Structure 1
Amino acid sequence: MGCVTTAHTRARDRGGEPAREARERCGACLPRHREGVTSTVTEQTSPSDIRDAGSPEQEPTPESQPASLEPSAASHTPDVALQADTTAGVPARDDVEPPAAAQAPVDTAAEPPAEEPQAPVDTAAVPPAEEPQAPVDSAAVPPAEEPQAPVDSAAVPPAEEPQAPVDSAAEPPAEEPQAPAEPQATVDTPVEPPADEPQAPEEPQASADTTPAAAGPEAVGARPTPRPRPMPRPAPLPHTPAAAAPVAPAAPPVDARDAAEAAAWGRVDDDGTVWVREATGERMVGQYTGADREEALGFYVRRFLDLQAQVALFEARLPQLAAKEIDQTLTTLTEALQEPTAVGDIDGLRARLERLTAAADERRAQAAAERESAKAQAVAERTAIVEQAEKIAAQDPSRTQWKQSGERLRNLLDSWKNAQRNGPRLDRPTEDSLWKRFSHARTAFDRHRRQYFSELDASQAQVKSAKEQLIARAEELSTSTDWARTAIAYRQLMDDWKAAGRAARKDDDALWARFRAAQQSFFDARSAQNAEVDAEYGENLKVKLALLEEAEKLVPVTDVKAAKAALRPLQDKWDAAGKVPRNDVQRVEGRMRAVEQAVRDAEQAAWHKTDPEKKARAEGAAAQLEASIKALEADLAKARDTGDDTQIAEAQAALDARRAWLDQVQRTARD
């Protein structure tokens, strides 16, 4: 059959011609394709198969309702016509299955749609009687004048692989039925034929496109027409199989009790229309033709159970959700429950959502309180960071440990960034105010540090200049031979060095090395000179040591006059002996001074004993005490005569004291 369908297929496979333009080109010959399909099915299908396929009145005709066709059926009709032409021109083979089984429509799944997702397969795989019609939603019908785009289908593989992957995207009926007029995304889904069903006959060339199951009833119910003449078969196009898409996960198991309770709220008409009972009356939710009532009702029950599961999940997660997520979820669920295409207790589910709305208001208030509490805590933490930074910046620059303080400020900045990144967001005025304080503290710290080190550099430069002057003076004195005065000058230079302060560590160490070298040069020269002098004074030391031995024999002094007479010639010889080595001066001079001091002490003690004034004072005091003792003895005698014990005791005590005083005075006078 000459048609642009082949060109359309080539353009689609090569990506050269847009799909919409090809559809428009193919629209003119669509009736001829349908006629070809009718002729082919009439010739190759037995009357019993036609009866099993169902009544044609259950499927709207293309002329009256083109929009109610399945997208896959509308898109594959031209390809079916092409297949009819190519099949008609090929003689039947004895080693394949009968033609009736080869031209049977497709069954979307081996099991009912409620248990397994629908997967399009080769048109010759399953008999037409088991093909359920796609559900029709009452609210989703696109304009009838827009034709559906043909769906890309994979070529039939060689005879050893009769089943070929077909591009189709029908979602699993257990989860979401597709409206007949809605376009479906294509998915390459390889389907294995059931074990108990006959295999499709082998094709000489695997180039014909497959026809979806929805075209089966329409083709069977059409008026028979003469078979078209065989046309030249187009050359097979190179086709690259599309990558297999991931298989959709199986539908979750449905609780039978929940499904039964939900099914009690709906019913199904004879024409497959599904109704749900609500408080305002019955409402049509969709149409599921070509299937039994239990399957049609179960499809929309599963939709209700999905909505119920979403509401239950929202109820379980409500205590942990934020206000924004609560609002988004409530909006989504409210829109989904306005007029849902589902069968179940819709009013009860709406009431449950209303109760959750009230609970959501409480959760919003709680979340707002938690947010305010977290914000207050974040403000306190940020304020603590700022206060620590201000405390560091307020330190005395002269006593600040700059390295440790700078490290603490960097850690505080990291803490600020971490709180800003991971903590709750603060309002702009509060955050700006705290950041300005923190930034001002860091700026003040940096300013104080720069100022301190600038002043330190200037001070160290002055210290360096002063010490260089001291070094110049020390280097001038390093060659002096005036040992005594130069030593005094070096002591003064050392005091000035200490008072000058410290320069930079590196500079100060170098300056001290130069100053110390100048001093050492002078003191080394003096030490060498003293060594020469000490060598000359060695004999003098021997003489003085001999004189010390004679002088120390006079101690202890027993006769002052004899000791003084013996010491005088020894002192003359001592002076005549001369100087001794520098290191022995204090030792020998100290021993001689000790002998001289002992003689002076003995002379002083002898003089005190013979002092006439002292003797006269002692004799006068003794005379007075003797007179007082006589008077007290007379008083004691009178007291004894009177017998007064008190007077006797007082007179006796006074008499004893005077006698003790007299004894001491007489002993002093004798010494």
Structure 2
Amino acid sequence: MSSDPWGRVDETGTVYVRTADGEKVVGSWQAGSPDEALAYFERKYEGLVVEIGLLEKRVRTTDLSSKDAMAAIGHLREQVDAHHAVGDLDALRGRLDKLVELVDKRREERKAQRARQSEEARQAKEALVVEAEELAQSDQWRSAGERLRALVDTWKGLPRLDRKSDDELWHRFSHARSAFSKRRKQHFAQLDAQREEARRIKEQLVGEAEALSGSTDWGPTAARYRDLMAQWKAAGRAQREHEEELWNRFRGAQDVFFAARSSVFAERDAEQAENLKLKEELAGEAEKLLPVTDLKAARAAFRQINERWEAIGHVPRDARPKVEGRMHAVERAIQEAEEAEWRRTNPEARARAAGLTGQLQAAVDKLKGQIEQARAQGNTAKAEKLERELEGRQALLDQALKGLQEFGG
């Protein structure tokens, strides 16, 4: 017979293990000594210790599911309860009980974690739905479309919720995308219609521009081209494949007209520059007539110069006031000389001037006599007053005499 703290072998070869509920038969051993029997069943016990230790480690350190963990615990518990090992089986049962508690705790933790993850996924999907519904109203077709596609990828990466919640959120999300796509399709359909209308209008404008390109009616045609350009801008853009071709034709027609006009204007400018040179020479010739000493000769010479002036033609607009001003100055000087000559030779005016002179001379002579009389009488104050009056009358007489001299005496 052999024994140790946890088991023994009786004389029949029966092996027992000691438990809290008393001894339990482990098995029968007939092949060797009792010590070998205990050693064999003790090794089986150590095997259970190792398996339980490995299971404890897996439960603590891996994502072993609760179901698989409980199955493994049940399997080990069956082996422990079968009492086919010698050792502290009650301690193994205690470790398995604690392992069950750990698995239950991990199950609750995972359940809570799944609940958190589910709530986070719900919130994330709700945020995606809200953003998608906002984007559905956007007119930023490119950026909003790209963002909606990115939201779809984000949605696919999120965990599924319960079917009802997931379906409801997906319906809103999908509806928002569809609404945006419908609005975008309508927008581009309208844009296509507008561009087609713009193409039709611009083809008409091109036709008129090409018809005008050979016109020599420079002013009205240039004004019409400005009107056509304003209409072109107001028409909007045509389709890309038509816009450039139409613009090249439109611009080309204008270029033909304006190049021709520029050529003509360049010739005109050269002619007007030559005209200006000739008129400046004539203005200088006219200015030599001043001052007027021989009115008749000056008048005849100016008339001949003016006839040559009128035959020359236009000069540049910016130079016109100066050169014409020189001629007008000579013309005014001759006119003033004519007016002076007329006044000098006018009999009525000469008679009026002579009459006025005579009246003033009589008034001066009278005042002189009164002054002499006042001084003879010793009335100095009256004499001084009359002398002041005499000064004024004498000044008027001098002026009248000068005017009379202009009439030749």
Asked if these proteins are the same fold (TM beyond 0.5), I'd say yes
Candidates 404, 415, 423, aligned match of 2:154? 415
Whether contact under 8 Å (1:263, 1:343) holds in the other structure is no
- Does residue 21 of structure 2 align to residue 280 of structure 1? yes
Partner of 1:35: none
Partner of 1:589: 320
The 1:494–1:283 alpha-carbon spacing in structure 2 relative to 1, beyond 3 Å, is: same
1:394 is paired with a residue whose SS is: coil
- Higher RCO structure, 1 or 2 (CA under 8 Å, sep 6+): 1
Partner of 2:341: none
How far the C-alpha of 1:478 sits from its partner, in A, is 1.4
1:419 is paired with a residue whose SS is: coil
Instruction: Say what the alpha-carbon RMSD is for the aligned residues.
Output: 3.5
The 1:389–1:302 alpha-carbon spacing in structure 2 relative to 1, beyond 3 Å, is: farther
Partner of 1:370: 113
Q: Deviations over 1:223-261 (max 9, x none)?
A: xxxxxxxxxxxxxxxxxxxxxxxxxxxxxxxxxxxxxxx
- Does residue 107 of structure 2 align to residue 357 of structure 1? no
Partner of 2:40: 299
Q: Distance in 1 between matches of 2:129 and 2:285?
A: 87
Q: Distance in 1 between matches of 2:321 and 2:14?
A: 138
The 1:368–1:597 alpha-carbon spacing in structure 2 relative to 1, beyond 3 Å, is: farther
How far the C-alpha of 1:516 sits from its partner, in A, is 0.8
Partner of 1:504: 239
Partner of 1:379: 122
AA of the residue aligned to 1:264: P
How far the C-alpha of 1:306 sits from its partner, in A, is 2.6
Q: Distance in 2 between matches of 1:453 and 1:308?
A: 75
The 1:550–1:437 alpha-carbon spacing in structure 2 relative to 1, beyond 3 Å, is: farther
Unaligned runs of 5+ in 2: 289-298, 331-409
The 1:388–1:279 alpha-carbon spacing in structure 2 relative to 1, beyond 3 Å, is: same
Partner of 2:197: 462
Q: Distance in 2 between matches of 1:497 and 1:552?
A: 55
Q: Deviations over 1:595-632 (max 9, x none)?
A: 89999xxxxxxxxxxxxxxxxxxxxxxxxxxxxxxxxx
The 1:535–1:336 alpha-carbon spacing in structure 2 relative to 1, beyond 3 Å, is: same
Larger deviation, residues 450-459 vs 336-345: 336-345
Whether contact under 8 Å (2:17, 2:83) holds in the other structure is no
Q: Distance in 2 between matches of 1:274 and 1:548?
A: 152
How far the C-alpha of 1:288 sits from its partner, in A, is 4.4
Partner of 1:405: 144
Q: Distance in 2 between matches of 1:486 and 1:531?
A: 18
1:286 is paired with a residue whose SS is: strand
Partner of 2:183: 448
Partner of 1:474: 209
AA of the residue aligned to 1:310: E
AA of the residue aligned to 1:295: E
Q: Distance in 2 between matches of 1:592 and 1:325?
A: 115
Candidates 90, 95, 106, aligned match of 1:347? 90
How far the C-alpha of 1:265 sits from its partner, in A, is 1.4
AA of the residue aligned to 1:309: V
AA of the residue aligned to 1:376: E
Whether contact under 8 Å (1:263, 1:344) holds in the other structure is no
The 1:306–1:549 alpha-carbon spacing in structure 2 relative to 1, beyond 3 Å, is: farther
Q: Distance in 2 between matches of 1:507 and 1:573?
A: 58
Q: Distance in 2 between matches of 1:499 and 1:319?
A: 76
Whether contact under 8 Å (2:25, 2:83) holds in the other structure is no
Q: Deviations over 1:84-107 (max 9, x none)?
A: xxxxxxxxxxxxxxxxxxxxxxxx
The 1:571–1:337 alpha-carbon spacing in structure 2 relative to 1, beyond 3 Å, is: farther
The 1:490–1:349 alpha-carbon spacing in structure 2 relative to 1, beyond 3 Å, is: same
Q: Residues 139-288 of structure 1: matches in 2 within 5 Å? A: 264-270=5-11, 272-288=13-29
Unaligned runs of 5+ in 1: 1-261, 554-564, 600-671
The 1:592–1:283 alpha-carbon spacing in structure 2 relative to 1, beyond 3 Å, is: farther
Identical aligned residues as a percent: 44
AA of the residue aligned to 2:320: E
The 1:453–1:533 alpha-carbon spacing in structure 2 relative to 1, beyond 3 Å, is: same
How far the C-alpha of 1:527 sits from its partner, in A, is 2.4
- Does residue 166 of structure 2 align to residue 427 of structure 1? no
How far the C-alpha of 1:499 sits from its partner, in A, is 0.7
How far the C-alpha of 1:508 sits from its partner, in A, is 0.9
The 1:540–1:347 alpha-carbon spacing in structure 2 relative to 1, beyond 3 Å, is: same
Q: Distance in 1 between matches of 2:307 and 2:76?
A: 131
Q: Distance in 2 between matches of 1:263 and 1:593?
A: 146
AA of the residue aligned to 2:85: A
AA of the residue aligned to 1:438: F
The 1:273–1:332 alpha-carbon spacing in structure 2 relative to 1, beyond 3 Å, is: same
Q: Deviations over 1:537-593 (max 9, x none)?
A: 44212124446789999xxxxxxxxxxx9xx9899876553113xxxx243135458
AA of the residue aligned to 2:181: D
- Does residue 240 of structure 2 align to residue 486 of structure 1? no
Q: Distance in 2 between matches of 1:339 and 1:590?
A: 132
Q: How many residues align?
A: 313
Q: Distance in 2 between matches of 1:264 and 1:526?
A: 127
Partner of 1:517: 252
Q: Deviations over 1:26-54 (max 9, x none)?
A: xxxxxxxxxxxxxxxxxxxxxxxxxxxxx
Partner of 1:230: none
The 1:276–1:499 alpha-carbon spacing in structure 2 relative to 1, beyond 3 Å, is: same
AA of the residue aligned to 1:276: V
Instruction: Say which structure is richer in helix.
Output: 2
TM-score, L = length of structure 1:
0.42
The 1:412–1:594 alpha-carbon spacing in structure 2 relative to 1, beyond 3 Å, is: farther
Q: Deviations over 1:163-200 (max 9, x none)?
A: xxxxxxxxxxxxxxxxxxxxxxxxxxxxxxxxxxxxxx
AA of the residue aligned to 1:354: D
Partner of 2:134: 391
Q: Deviations over 1:459-484 (max 9, x none)?
A: 11111011111111111111222222
